[in-house]
Structure 1
Amino acid sequence: MLYIFDMGNVLIDIDFKRVLGVWSNLSGAPLAHLIERFKMGEVFEQHERGEISDEQFAEQLCHEMGIALSFEQFSAGWQSIFIGLRPDAIAVMKSLREQGHRVVVLSNTNRLHLEHWPTHYPEIEQNADAIYLSQELGMRKPEPAIFQHVLDKEGFKAQETVFFDDVAENVNAASALGIQAILVVDSQTLPRHFSGNQIT
């Protein structure tokens, strides 16, 4: 079997409010103002596909939120999204690989975060057979093409694949291709799933 894991809020706990809190402190803008204006719109998607640079992303996002930050300040806030690793999820990945399954990561991410998580959370790469990242592939979830790309690269059919993600839209897109897709709602979703489904 092929097991595909998202990263944020599946393998690593993340929180965008932490990002906004740092930007609020650095810019002097009220947190409520940033929460109201921050959205994962077209600029966000372009960045995750690698269509715009980190600097362009920072400039455009600051413009949308009506704040002034240096690129260094923007980056400091952006990296604060990470809270910590989910050890139970890493244990599941390790167990699956030990039993002969193929385990990969598929994440919508960007260069700024690539400078952070591999160093701080090496356990992810250590327990994955491959890592597929939106910015390197030029496409992002929930686009069907990115799921098909992983299936083709890995040599598995959709019916031989299980996918875990915390975004319902991504789960629905994978399901539409015939992949068994599981919505991750909290840190215990993976342990619960595998305690009720023996890994074989």
Structure 2
Amino acid sequence: MSKPIKNIIFDLGGVFLNIDFQLTNKAFIDLGVNGFNEMFTQHFSNPLFELLETGKINEEEFYKAFRQESKTTLTNAQIKTAWNALLLDFPAERIDWLQQISKKYRIFLFSNTNQIHYDCFIEKFKKQYPGVDFDRLFIKAYYSQNLGLRKPYPASFQAILDEQELEARETLFIDDTIKNVEAAQALGLQTIHLAHPLTVLDLSL
């Protein structure tokens, strides 16, 4: 029998932030980068992207390595623009829902992301919601590049549980990527796979 939920750890992309990987794929194809979708998808990332997402390389190092991997001479700005193309908007009804749910549970965010994407989506959020600090909507927002760990590695979930002194059985994890959900489940967390077209608005919490 499941224990009552006290805590919720949310994913970001596909949960609160609309994303479309194909837009980044198309942007790179338009720049002459063929096979980008073999390098990076929602379910797989080339070691280069993993290094970026765990903060092992910085923005400049990423651009340089990307040029080498893709055998192109793209500028930093061209790579950044295409790389950020997948980041869309934060639907207002989901942010309203989040603010309501935070009154019932201790809520956290855990996103596989990188500093380039973070700077971009935080700027988008500020434009949509002037005066609102996105990260402060949560008790703590965990980003892989700061944590130094990413999903689906068990150590990433364990680090959050340990730091916040959360009991796995009392904690719900919500993500749109099945392998992340399965990893959390294996650690004893309660889980919801928020598969498209479901949104948080469809949840009964």
> Normalization by structure 2: what TM-score?
0.84
Alignment-mate amino acid for residue 6 of structure 1: D
Structure 2 distance, partners of 1:188, 1:36, is 24
| Deviation per residue, 1:66-108 (Å, 9 max, x gap) | 3321111111111221111133432332112123x11111001
From 114, 119, 126, give the equivalent of 1:115.
119
Which residue of the partner structure matches residue 174 of structure 2?
164
Structure 1 distance, partners of 2:71, 2:56, is 23
Aligned length: 190
Which consecutive unaligned segments of at least 5 residues does structure 2 have? 1-5, 127-131
Q: Does the residue aligned with 1:83 lie in a helix, a strand or coil?
A: coil
Alignment-mate amino acid for residue 176 of structure 1: A
| C-alpha spacing 1:110/1:35, structure 2 compared with 1 (3 Å) | closer
Which residue of the partner structure matches residue 60 of structure 2?
55
User: Post-superposition shift, 1:187?
Assistant: 5.1
Q: Percent identity?
A: 29
Alignment-mate amino acid for residue 142 of structure 2: Y
Q: Does the residue aligned with 1:13 lie in a helix, a strand or coil?
A: coil
Which residue of the partner structure matches residue 152 of structure 2?
142
| Deviation per residue, 1:128-176 (Å, 9 max, x gap) | 2210011111111111111111112222100110111111111000000
Structure 2 distance, partners of 1:163, 1:91, is 19
Stretch of structure 1 that moved more, 133-142 or 182-191 = 182-191
Structure 1 distance, partners of 2:26, 2:15, is 22
Which residue of the partner structure matches residue 3 of structure 1?
8
User: Post-superposition shift, 1:35?
Assistant: 4.3
Structure 2 distance, partners of 1:134, 1:173, is 16
Alignment-mate amino acid for residue 82 of structure 2: G
Alignment-mate amino acid for residue 63 of structure 2: A
From 86, 95, 113, give the equivalent of 1:90.
95
Which residue of the partner structure matches residue 184 of structure 1?
194
Q: Is the 8 A contact 2:53 2:150 kept in 1?
A: yes
Which consecutive unaligned segments of at least 5 residues does structure 1 have? none
Q: Is the 8 A contact 2:171 2:189 kept in 1?
A: yes
Alignment-mate amino acid for residue 91 of structure 2: R
Which residue of the partner structure matches residue 69 of structure 2?
64
Structure 2 distance, partners of 1:153, 1:172, is 21
Instruction: Tell me how large the CA RMSD over aligned residues is.
Output: 1.9
From 137, 142, 146, give the equivalent of 1:132.
142
Stretch of structure 1 that moved more, 180-189 or 151-160 = 180-189
Which residue of the partner structure matches residue 20 of structure 1?
25
